[in-house]
Amino acid sequence: MTGASLQAEADRAAAAGDIARARDLLEQALTKTGDSPELWLKLAAMRRASGDGPAALDAVHRALALAPLDFMALLMRASLLERLGDRQAGEAYGRAIAQRPPGALAPQVTAALAHGQARYTAYIAENEGKLAAAMAGAEADADPEEAARIARFRSNALRQTRVYHSEPTHFHFPGLVEREFHDRGAFPWLADLEAATDAIAAELEIVMAAERAELVPYIQYAEHEPLRQWRPLNHNRDWTAIHLWRNGSVVEANARHCPQTMAALAGIPQPGIAGCSPNAMFSLLAPQTHIPPHAGVANTRLVCHLPLVVPAGCWFRCGAETREWRRGEAFVFDDTIEHEAMNPSDQLRVVFIIDVWHPGLSHAEQSAVKALMEAEGGSAAGL
């Protein structure tokens, strides 16, 4: 008999409930047709049905050697490991879940996947408890920012969060520390900025009421530019800005109404790059508006947010960490790491935004960045 005819006969035997014959025929078919993920999976099913778990697992491993990301093979492997009492079953279910194909699944597969999700959730919780206990001593000695990174290290290891990297659209300076939210200790001026919250908010009200103030869409670029990440908000007044500094120039129509805010900016190490920076603005996000995931222009700068008007529920995500803005609580983040924001409320949200030098740059490196960006004309860095 040919390999194909042996397989067809094995299917008939399996349908008739003759598991032993189906298993024997499939083993014969494999000797005639050579390795096939489909045949190995069928053989695994017959070996499992006959109660031979170790042999079934071996057949699944043969299938995965040929097709390492096959969803059904991964799911069967996890199920077999669970039957065999192997501690790897929980992690194996996680690997299967990660390869779930799109669309509807057969009812029995859906049920198996739901069981696998429950097992994987329990495995993660158990493993998290074990790792947290092992790390408790180290965390007890950590300051709050160190403790946050330690906790993220653990969640990354558990695959509860993924790793995000700096991916600037235009300018990448090598060797700079990548952090979603940077430690406050690197920015001693943050406390003074926060102390000026009421004064800055008061000047926001003045400039918003001024007849000649300039309120413009936050995102403005030519339609032909290859920047799909911004297309829904390009020239859209759902996300607008009142600039005090814009691409290295003071916007007098607005800045003249904000003397205390401008004085506060004077003590902050903003990049001075013609055509690029400083930048400082009131960012106004309309109700029910989502800023989609995107990345910034250059990793040589970081971005500071000082929340001024924050309705309940407004949030900001950078990388794997999501925060709710809180009035007067500033933070510094790397905008070249994927980030997004949402105002789910029915009220306006306003955040004061400024750019600052990345603290990892030396003076010589800052000078080099300034020279390169000015030579480029500043147009890209001003996006």
For residue 79, the enclosing domain spans 3-122
User: Within 13 Å of residue 305, how many CA atoms lie on the same side as its CB?
Assistant: 26
Domain-embedded: residue 235: yes
Domain shared by 265 and 348, yes or no: yes
Domain shared by 106 and 224, yes or no: no
Q: What is the 3-state secondary structure (H, E, C) of 152-213?
A: HHHHHHCCCCCCCCCCCCCECCCCCCCCCECCHHHCCCHHHHHHCHHHHHHHHHHHHHCCCC
Phi, psi of 246 (to 5 degrees): -140, 115
Domain shared by 115 and 216, yes or no: no
**How many whole angstroms from its chain centre is CA 178?**
14
Q: What per-residue confidence (pLDDT) applies to 272?
A: 96
Domain-embedded: residue 241: yes
Select from 106, 122, 138 the last residue of a domain. 122
Domain shared by 196 and 113, yes or no: no
Domain-embedded: residue 134: no
User: 26 and 10 in contact (C-beta within 8 Å)?
Assistant: yes
Q: What per-residue confidence (pLDDT) applies to 218?
A: 52
Domain-embedded: residue 132: no
- Burial grade of 327 (CB within 10 A; 0-12, 13-18, 19 or more): middle
Q: What per-residue confidence (pLDDT) applies to 240?
A: 86
Domain count, the chain: 2
CATH number of the domain to which 283 belongs? 2.60.120.330
Select from 122, 146, 167 the last residue of a domain. 122
Whether the full predicted model's pTM is greater than 0.85, yes or no, is: no
Domain shared by 228 and 347, yes or no: yes
Domain shared by 366 and 258, yes or no: yes
SS3 for 321? strand
Select from 122, 141, 172 the last residue of a domain. 122
Tens of pLDDT, residues 317-327: 999 999 999 99
pLDDT tens-place values along the chain, 383 residues long: 777 788 888 889 889 999 999 898 888 888 877 778 999 999 999 999 999 999 999 999 999 999 999 999 999 999 999 999 998 999 999 999 999 999 999 999 999 999 999 999 999 999 999 999 999 999 999 998 899 999 999 999 988 899 999 999 999 999 999 999 999 999 999 999 999 999 999 999 999 888 666 666 654 444 434 445 445 544 455 678 999 999 999 999 999 999 999 999 999 999 999 999 999 999 999 999 999 999 999 999 999 999 999 999 999 999 999 999 999 999 999 999 999 999 999 999 999 999 999 999 999 999 999 999 999 875 444 44
Domain shared by 115 and 189, yes or no: no
Cβ neighbours for 365, distance < 8 A, ≥ 6 positions apart: 173
Cβ neighbours for 73, distance < 8 A, ≥ 6 positions apart: 37, 41, 60, 63, 64, 67
In the chain, what is the greatest distance between 2 CA atoms, to the nearest angstrom? 91
Domain shared by 81 and 196, yes or no: no
Closest among 342, 202, 212 to 282, alpha carbons compared = 202
Domain-embedded: residue 7: yes
Domain-embedded: residue 331: yes
Q: What per-residue confidence (pLDDT) applies to 155?
A: 92
Domain-embedded: residue 326: yes
CATH number of the domain to which 109 belongs? 1.25.40.10
Domain shared by 207 and 307, yes or no: yes
Domain-embedded: residue 179: no
